[in-house]
Structure formats: structure tokens, C-alpha cells
Amino acid sequence: MVDNPVRQEVNITRIFDAPRELVFRMWTDPVLVEKWWGPKDFKNPVCELDARVGGNMRIVMQAPDGLLIPTSGVFTEIVEPERIVFKNFKEDGDGNAQLEVVNTVTFIEKDGKTTMTLHALAVRITPEACGSIEGMNVGWNQSIDRFADLLAVVNR
């Protein structure tokens, strides 16, 4: 894997009519993350999170055609309920990292609503992962759409 010569990043800001503690928990509770993580119509047959500094994550996404996309990661900063920073790695079939992304998620509450901002920066990539980098913006936006739909149900 080499440093990414093309600066690929995604910035998403959404405002949710929900308390910050709940929006934060949606990122750290594996039962909830399993339900929203990944693009539209994807499933997560494996979703393991140890949401603490140095804790690991393991998510295997399953595309509608059955293709399995394994990812791993590590939490590098957690300031509850304000900020989460984690690295995640898209892996090949042998568990080798093909893409490294540093993700920073912040949560600001005002008047009972929470502004969530996601910044995802691809920092290292292999040639085999070029397709993944091209779909990063669409994938994250579809994930956050699913997040919003689930949050509306959980926040009732």
C-alpha cells in the first residue's frame, strides 16, 4: 500500500432531530451500526466494535449480489459524546489492507438537535482498491441516509 497520491475525501454534515448522546451511540453500538453501515441494500453479517481508544472494529459488508467486503479498523480517539476518530481498512480476500481511511465524526447539540459531521480521508491505497475510492462519496452518503432512517425509528 502506498500513500494516496489523489486526495480523496468525503465531507458530510447532517442535522438530526435527536439528542447528541443517541446520535453518538448510533456510531458505537454494534447492534445499531450493523443496521445502517454500508451502501443501500447492503447487509453486515459481521459487525464487531470495541468502541474505545485502541479498540478494534471488524465489519463484513455483503453486497446485494452476495459479494463479501471485509473491513477492519481501530478507534484512535473517542470523546463521548463529542467526537470519534477511527481508521478503517478495506481488505482483500487474504486479509491484506487495500485501502486505509481516517474517519472523524463530530457531534454538536443545539436546541435538542444534533449536527453530525463526517470527514473521511483516504490516506493509503493499492491499485486494486481504485474502484472503492471512486465509490467512497456515494457509499458514505447512502450509509448516512440509512443512519438517518434508523435514527428516526430509534428516537421515537
Question: What are 11's three cell numbers?
Answer: 465531507
Amino acid, single-letter form, for residue 112: G
pTM greater than the 0.85 cutoff = yes
Per-residue pLDDT of the chain (156 residues; tens, 9 = 90+): 566 555 689 999 999 999 999 999 999 999 999 999 999 999 999 999 999 999 999 999 999 999 999 999 999 999 999 999 999 998 877 887 888 899 999 999 999 999 999 999 988 877 776 666 667 889 999 999 999 999 999 998
Tell me the C-alpha distance between 142 and 4, whole Å: 24
Contact status, residue 68 vs residue 87, Cβ threshold 8 Å: no
User: What values do phi and psi take at 12, rounded to 5?
Assistant: -130, 130
